[in-house]
Amino acid sequence: MGPLIKLIVLNVVVYAILKFVVPNIPGSAPLPASLVFLYMMLTTSGFVIFATVSAESKEAFWGPIQRFLTGENIGGLQALRYGILILFPLLVGWQTYSSTAVSDAPPSENRTIHPAPPGEYTGLSNPISKTPDAIQQGKGFYAAFCSPCHGGNFDGKGPASRGFNPPPANFSDPTTIAMLQESYLFWRIKKGGVGLPIEGMPWKSAMPRWEVELPDEWIWKIILGEYDGAHQAPRTWE
C-alpha cells in the first residue's frame, strides 16, 4: 500500500470514529464539523511529517503528487489536473467571498441559561417538609402564578409563553430543574429575570421578580409542586 493510500484510509477511519463512534460514547455529544476538520488536519499533518522523515519515504509520498502536477503523458489524469487547477482558485475565491460578505444574520448571542447564583442562595435547603399537602398547595400556586408561561404540563408551553425570547423553561426537560438544586430555583423565582447576572442577559427575561408578590413560604411550596409535577428530582451532592 502506497503512503498516499495509507493517508486516505487513516483519514477515513479517523472521520468514521469522530462522526459515528465518539457521539455514541455515554456522556458524549456530536462533534462540531469544525472540530472534526481540525482533527483530520492534525492527522494529515502528523502523517506528512512521518512520511517525509527519510529521503526515500519522502520520494514515495511526494513523487506521485509531483508527477500528477507536472508529469507528461499521464493520459486521462491531464484533464483531472486541469480541473483541480481551475477548481482550487475558485474555491479560494468563494471562501474569501463568504467570509467577507456582510451577514444578514443578527449577532449570535451566547446566553448562559443557568448562570451561577449569588453566594447567599447556594446550599439553602427547603424549609417546607415534602408532605402531600405541601406539594398539593405548591401545585395550586404553580397553576395560579407560573403555569401561564411554564405550562399546565410543566413543559414551558403555557398560553402566555409565545411572545417571549428566551422562552420559559421546560421543567420536564432533564436539563433544567433536574440539574439544579432547590436553592437555585428559590433564587430564580424570588429575584426573577432582572436578578440574573450579565451572562444571563437579564434585559431579555420576562420572569417576574416574585419576591415583591409572594412570601418565601409559597415559593418553597411552588418548588415542591414543580418537581413533583414535572416528575423530576432536585440535584443533590450526596
Partner 1 sequence: MTQRLKHIVPNVVVGVWLAMGFLTVQPVSAEEKSKVAAPPESTLQSVSVSAPMVKGALPADDPNAAVWSSATMARFPMSPQVHWPTRILDATVKDLNVRALHDGTNVAILLEYADPTEDPDDAAAIEFMVGDKKAHFAHGQPMAQVEGGPVNIWYWKNKDNKGVDMNAKGFGTIKVQTHQDVKAKGTYANGTWKVVFTRPLATEHADEDTQIATGGFINIAFAVWDGKKDVSGELKEKGSQKAVTSWWNFRAEAPPDYSSYYYAAIAVGVALGFQFVLIRKLKKGHSA
Interaction residues for partner 1, span 208-237 (CB under 8 A): 208, 213
Q: Which is nearer to partner 1, 17 or 194 (CB)?
A: 194
Does 102 help bind partner 1 (rule: CB under 8 A)? yes
State which of residues 23, 30, 123, 197 lies at the interface with partner 1 (CB under 8 A). 197
Residue 123: strand, helix, or coil: coil
Cell triple for 99: 467570509
Binding residue (CB under 8 A) for partner 1 from 196, 223, 224, 230: 196
Are the CB atoms for 139 and 229 separated by under 8 Å? yes
Using CB under 8 A, which residues numbered 161 to 190 contact partner 1?
161-165
* Using rule CB under 8 A, residue 50 touches partner 1: no
What are the residues whose beta carbons fall under 8 Å from the beta carbon of 187, sequence distance 6 or more? 117, 118, 121, 195
Site for partner 1 in 67-86 (CB under 8 A): 67-71, 74-75, 77, 80-81, 83-85
Distances (CA, A) of 179 to 11, 79, 183, 224: 38, 59, 12, 15
Taking a C-beta distance cutoff of 8 angstroms, is the pair 221, 137 a contact?
Answer: yes
Interacting residues with partner 1 between 6 and 35 (CB under 8 A): 8, 32-34
C-alpha cell of residue 212:
415583591
Q: Which stretch binds partner 1 (CB under 8 A): 49-57, 169-177, 196-204, 226-234?
A: 196-204
Q: How many CA atoms lie within 13 A of 234 on its CB side?
A: 19
What is the C-alpha to C-alpha distance for residues 169 and 207, in angstroms, rounded to an integer?
10
How big is the site for partner 1, counted in residues (CB under 8 A)?
71
Site map (CB under 8 A) of partner 1, residues 135-164, x = contact: -------------xx---------xxxxxx
CB of 189: closest distance to partner 1 in angstroms? 14
In angstroms, rounded to a whole number, what is the distance separating the alpha carbons of residues 201 and 166?
10
